[in-house]
Amino acid sequence: MELMERVREVGADAPPMSDTGIDAARVALLREIAREGRVDAAPRRRRTARWIGGSALAGGLAATALVVGLVVVPATAPTASAVVFEKAAAGAEEAGSPRLAAGQYLRLRTDFAWRVVWDADMPDGAHFNNFDPDDAEAVLEVVDTGTTYVPADAGGDWVRERIPYVVTAAHGARAAEAKAEWEAQSPVEGLAGVTRYPGGVAEAGGDGGTFEYYLDDRELYADLPSDVPGTIEWFSRRYEGEGDANGLAHYFAETISDVAVFNLAPAAARASMLRAFATLDHVEVVATSGDRTTLRYERVRQDGDAAPIEFTLDTSRGYVLGVTSWPYGTDADPGPDAWTSRTTAEIAVVDSAP
Q: CA 55 from chain center: how many Å?
A: 34
pLDDT (0 to 100) of residue 143 = 95
Distance CA(79)–CA(82), nearest Å, equals: 5
Residue 46, pLDDT > 70, answer no
In the chain, DSSP finds a helix count (H) and a strand count (E) of 9, 11
The answer to whether 354 touches 159, Cβ cutoff 8 Å, is yes
138-161 pLDDT, tens digit each: 999 999 999 999 999 999 999 999
In this prediction, residue 300 has a pLDDT band, given cuts at 50, 70 and 90, of: confident
Residue 335, pLDDT > 70, answer no
In this prediction, residue 67 has a pLDDT band, given cuts at 50, 70 and 90, of: very low
Mean pLDDT of the chain: 77
107-134 average pLDDT score: 87
pLDDT (0 to 100) of residue 252 = 81
239-265 pLDDT, tens digit each: 765 544 445 777 787 888 899 999 999
pLDDT (0 to 100) of residue 327 = 81
pLDDT (0 to 100) of residue 267 = 93
pLDDT (0 to 100) of residue 103 = 94
Distance CA(318)–CA(320), nearest Å, equals: 7
In this prediction, residue 235 has a pLDDT band, given cuts at 50, 70 and 90, of: confident
Residue 186, pLDDT > 60, answer yes
pLDDT (0 to 100) of residue 298 = 82
Residue 14, pLDDT > 60, answer no
Among the listed residues 322, 23, 347, the one whose alpha carbon sits nearest the alpha carbon of residue 216: 347
In this prediction, residue 208 has a pLDDT band, given cuts at 50, 70 and 90, of: confident
Residue 293, pLDDT > 60, answer yes
DSSP percent split of the chain into helix, strand, coil, nearest 5? 30, 30, 40
pLDDT (0 to 100) of residue 26 = 47
Q: What is the DSSP string of 65-132?
A: IIGGGTSPPPSSPPPHHHHHHHHHHHHHHHH-SPP--TT-EEEEEEEEEEEEEE-TTSPTT-TT----
- At residue 343, the 3 state secondary structure works out as strand
Residue 178, pLDDT > 80, answer yes
pLDDT (0 to 100) of residue 247 = 54
273-292 pLDDT, tens digit each: 999 999 888 899 999 999 99
The answer to whether 140 touches 115, Cβ cutoff 8 Å, is yes
47-63 pLDDT, tens digit each: 233 233 333 333 333 33
Distance CA(318)–CA(297), nearest Å, equals: 18
pLDDT (0 to 100) of residue 66 = 36
72-100 pLDDT, tens digit each: 444 456 789 999 999 999 999 999 888 89
